Structure 1
Amino acid sequence: MNQQRRMAGWTVKTLVGCWAVLGALTAQAAGFSVGRVDIEFADGGWKELSLPDQEVAFGGDKSGALGVESKLYLRGAPDGDDQILVIVGAHSEGMGGGRAARMTYSPQCRSDEQNYREGNEGFRESFAQCLTVTPPYYSEGVFKALAPEVLALQASGVVSARRPVYTVWSRHAISTGSFVDVRVFVISPIGVDKAAVEDPLPKGVLPEHVVWGRQLKDAVKSSVYSLSGRLVVPPIRLKSPASGAAGGGG
């Protein structure tokens, strides 16, 4: 009888642990938040996974470190054509960061031969804004550079880093220290209604991703300046993968 009770107790504890993990992964969209940011996705089916908290050094006239909270949002099958990974990072201590001093930035957001970028440049600027759009690169190299936390999750089977991915990344930071950073990784291209882009694009960078990225950039900026921190992620509509798409360097 005692043995049966012990086995029953072990089973209950195991089930509780499993449900806790599943609950973290299947949180409803209404409960999605990172730091001071409330996140809204256009579609359902997203899963949420907390990432280790970090700190980044203040810049400008303010000393100390800024608390950062990050979460990973997933949709689609790991390594499938429909896999979407979205990492959202934000200042975890609310709007402000002290009125006596201000952070300044020296952004260098400009395109190069491989990647498209648009944002600001300068020295001791009051804000830093940058949108980065890349061609498909082998995901292991991309995650190693931009999202090492994702590589650590491969063993769990939740994510996969075996296929080339496109990256759309937007970040906006202001003088109070508040910022929002959104990194989107997709295997299949994102589709938009109109994909006309006047700027010359590096090889492999899709005009659709620049158009969609500009929508994301506007949403990120709005979230930073909003008292509520509300972040409305533009709809992510995937197209069929480009036939024969090969990963670039990374």
Structure 2
Amino acid sequence: MARSLAFTSYLICMGSLFAAQINAATFEIGRASVEMPAGEWKQVTASEGEVLLDGGASGRIPTDDRAFGLMHGERVAAILLISSSKGGIVVKTNWMNSCAGTKISYASNTAYHLNGLACARATGRLNTIAYLKRAVPKMFRELEALEPALPPISRSVSAVVANDYGTMLYVNLVAAPAFAGSPEKPLENVPAGVNPRHAAWADRLAVAIRDSVYSLSGKLVIPSVEFSTSPSSAKQGTPSK
């Protein structure tokens, strides 16, 4: 009975959480002008964030953080997390972040030089709620409210690019396992458990983000987000350890 009441409350709040549907193809996040892929994307929440340099000893870069949901009927097929530095801020930066893969995750370092940052990543299967809690703690409360509609298992496909003047843009697609990835030739020699087409999509995303970071307009065109089968009917499997 208690769970039934909780789920009823969830259904009531769905309208308010997803009231801010993104009708325009392009919208502003920090200094970035982001063009969403096709689909029924709705903003779930927003937050002010920051990137600490050397743990805060060398300064900090304020960011505009957003979370969007891709609706598929009454289900959420994917969550899109975006964090963008704000315009008008110039901080000479030496990025020390690593970009290394593991036995169960793909990573590709495409930085132009040592001071810059450019990393594309793709993971195996993840517990969606546990991953979101770790990835975006400031926005987790609103995302947790969507749990009945979220895929229990998902994959993270992301990229981050930053230049040595403090411009940074990070995009993370947390999608149901049925996410098709890149329609182009899949990458070879990716870690076991990582979908090669997801790794290829991460690389495409990194190129798009790099174009945004190193441009005056900040325009970012996110690659298309397609699914090989219905996100709500695909087998979920088990998360990576």
TM-score by length of 1: 0.77
Report 1:12-91 matches (<5 A): 25-30=20-25, 32-59=27-54, 63-77=58-72, 80=75, 83-91=77-85
Q: Cα distance 1:182–1:247, how it changes in 2: closer, same or farther (>3 A)?
A: same
Report the counterpart of residue 248 of structure 1 in structure 2.
240
**3-state SS of the aligned residue for 1:190?**
coil
Q: Which amino acid aligns with 2:42?
A: K
Report the counterpart of residue 98 of structure 2 in structure 1.
108
- How many residue pairs align between the two structures? 223
Q: Is the 8 A contact 1:32 1:48 kept in 2?
A: no
Report the identity percentage: 23
Q: Cα distance 1:73–1:23, how it changes in 2: closer, same or farther (>3 A)?
A: closer
**Cα offset, 1:86, TM superposition:** 0.5
Report 1:1-250 matches (<5 A): 25-30=20-25, 32-59=27-54, 63-77=58-72, 80=75, 83-92=77-86, 94-98=87-91, 102-119=92-109, 125-154=114-143, 156-157=145-146, 160=149, 163-187=152-176, 188-198=178-188, 200-240=189-229, 243=235, 245-249=237-241
TM-score by length of 2: 0.80
**Cα offset, 1:46, TM superposition:** 1.3
Q: Cα distance 1:244–1:224, how it changes in 2: closer, same or farther (>3 A)?
A: closer
**Cα offset, 1:116, TM superposition:** 0.6
Q: Cα distance 1:48–1:246, how it changes in 2: closer, same or farther (>3 A)?
A: same
Q: Is the 8 A contact 2:35 2:220 kept in 1?
A: yes
Stretches (4+) displaced over 3 A: 20-24, 77-80, 154-162, 241-244
More strand by share: 2
**Cα offset, 1:144, TM superposition:** 2.2
Q: CA RMSD in A?
A: 3.0
Q: Is the 8 A contact 2:94 2:164 kept in 1?
A: yes
Q: Cα distance 1:204–1:125, how it changes in 2: closer, same or farther (>3 A)?
A: same
Q: Is the 8 A contact 1:58 1:177 kept in 2?
A: no
Structure 2: gaps spanning 5 or more residues:
1-12
Structure 1: gaps spanning 5 or more residues:
1-17
Q: Which amino acid aligns with 1:57?
A: L
Q: Is the 8 A contact 1:51 1:149 kept in 2?
A: no
Distance 1:79 1:147 in 2: 23
Q: Cα distance 1:216–1:156, how it changes in 2: closer, same or farther (>3 A)?
A: same
